[in-house]
Amino acid sequence: MLMGQVVGNIVSTRKHESLVGSKILEVKLLHENKDIDEFMIAIDCGVGAGIGDRVLITTGSSARLALRDKETAVDAVVVGIIDE
């Protein structure tokens, strides 16, 4: 799992049908609570993360398991919001 901070929303009017209705987020990755100047695009699995939230991200094939449709073409999913 990775830790990051949501820095933006991604708007895509044309996308694969399995992503329709998904909230797409731009996340700046963190290591030991410090910025590492790397970014990732991730789908919010329904936790309601927004700009400024620190989040947990799962990646790879296990990311799809957090979504309703296990065939969705994703590689990174926000699965939790970290309490301050």
What's the whole-number mean pLDDT along residues 18-39? 92
Q: Residue 55 in contact with residue 38, Cβ under 8 Å?
A: no
Report the C-alpha gap between 72 and 18 in whole angstroms: 5
Confidence of residue 75 (pLDDT cuts 50, 70, 90): very high
Q: What's the rounded mean pLDDT across residues 11-22?
A: 89
pLDDT given for residue 54 in this prediction: 97
Stretch 54-79: mean pLDDT: 88
Higher pLDDT, 31 or 70: 31
What is the greatest pairwise CA distance in the chain? 36
The CATH H-level superfamily of 2-81 is: EutN/Ccml (2.40.50.220)
- Domain assignments of the chain as residue spans, ordered by start: 2-81
Mean pLDDT of 32-52: 93
pLDDT band at 9 (very low <50, low <70, confident <90, very high): very high
